[in-house]
Homo-oligomer: A and B are copies of this chain.
């Protein structure tokens, strides 16, 4: 008997697992905004499921910090304060540094080549100041570095923290100065990877993240006065 196409096969994940993803995405890319109550009923209707699996998913999202549960008043999308960023970024920093060290030691030629290509494409987006395209490739490159680090635990921890700040991170319009700086850092990242210099890559990634934090900070400061509640 012939095996079914893996792509067409319905990999029957449990509903709650699927929902963690779907609802998480709604939050991360801003379709549910911070502070807003999670509309349980509406989401049940939208996804065609009952409250049970949805609520299971919300518990998981709460453990990951994307939603906040208050007793007898349900779930709300977590807000991202400046204090949160001050907590999260340093942790992301050391995780990225570790990823860099491991990746430099373990990355294959093939993976490196792919990153080089993405980097080149990213430069083109930068040239015409196409932020969305830039970010998409930027994220791919970072993911590839974590993949090359071959440490699923490390990647998972990072992903979790990244999700908490991404909605801020990827909305933050960069000033041209910071953007240029960021591109330069990416240049150095690729160079360090090619030299397989883990220490240097770690340092670059840390500096890069600091740049990002500054970008976000600027954005958040501009934003928060206009967000009353």
Contact = CB atoms under 8 A, between A and B. Distances in A.
Interface of A: 12-14, 16-17, 20, 52, 55-57, 59-60, 63-65, 69, 71, 84, 87-88, 90-91, 93-95, 97-98, 102, 151-154, 157, 161
B153 A88 contact: yes
B153 A91 contact: yes
Nearest to A70: B14
Number of identical protomers? 2
16 contacts: A12-B71, A13-B71, A56-B59, A59-B59, A60-B63, A84-B153, A87-B151, A88-B153, A90-B98, A90-B154, A91-B151, A91-B153, A93-B98, A94-B94, A94-B97, A157-B161
A199 to B, nearest CB: 14
Contacts of A16: 59
A152 B20 CA distance: 23
Contacts of A91: 95, 98, 151, 153-154, 157
